[in-house]
Amino acid sequence: MYRAHLFAFCLCFMTVLLIALILQGFRQAVDQEVHWEGQRQLVSQLGLTDLALWSEARYTRHISQADLFTPFQNMPGAPDLFPAGSILPPAFSLPQTRVEVVRQESSQ
């Protein structure tokens, strides 16, 4: 049964390694909190709203500030030219109100 035991040992080793990586990740996130605090302060000082990820077009640089139809403003039916546009899905509508229909007992 040496094969089974060896296999079980390898499986345990990989499981322990994965758990150690995940725990290390949690610890790293706790350490990172100091850096995030600094970045939050900078965001607060400058009033930033977006991450500096996509600088190829104006509407991809500040995705939270751009209109949904921004890529198509240049002409009717204009395609979205930039690859970042493929990553950005249309925002889901967030309804502020809810309508509930409650059946009333008939008064007979």
Partner 1 sequence: MTRQWKLLDYALASLLRRKGKNLSILVIYTLTVATLASVLFLTQSLRQEATKVLSGGPDLVVQRLMAGRHELVPLNYADPIRKLPGVKSVQPRVWGYYYDSLKKVNLTLMGLPAEPEILVLLEGERPSKGQEIAVGRGIADTYGFGVGDSLLLIDAAGEKQLYRITGLFETGSDLLTNDLILFPEAELRRFFAMPTNRATDLAVSVYNPREVATLAQKVRYHLPDSRPIGKTEILHTYDTVFHWRSGMLLTVSLAALIAFCILAWDKATGISADERREIGILKAVGWDTTDVLALKFWEGLAVSLVAFLLGTILAWTHTYVFGAGLLAPVIQGWSVLFPDFDLTPSVDLYQLFILGMLTVTPYIACTVIPSWKAAITDPDSVMRS
Using CB under 8 A as the binding rule, whether residue 74 contacts partner 1 is answered as no
Least CB distance to partner 1 at residue 3 (A): 5
Touching partner 1, residues 85-104 (CB under 8 A): 86-89, 91-92, 94, 96
φ, ψ of residue 81 in degrees (nearest 5): -85, -25
Rounded to whole angstroms, the Cα distance separating 13 from 99 reads: 54
Calculate Rg over the CA atoms of the chain. 26
Helices (H) and strands (E) in the chain, counts: 3, 0
User: Taking CB under 8 A as the rule, does residue 72 contact partner 1?
Assistant: no
Residue 54 · residue 60 · CB < 8 Å: yes
Applying CB under 8 A, which residues contact partner 1? 1-5, 7-8, 10-11, 14-15, 17-18, 21-22, 24-26, 28-29, 32, 35-36, 38-58, 60-65, 67, 73, 82-84, 86-89, 91-92, 94, 96
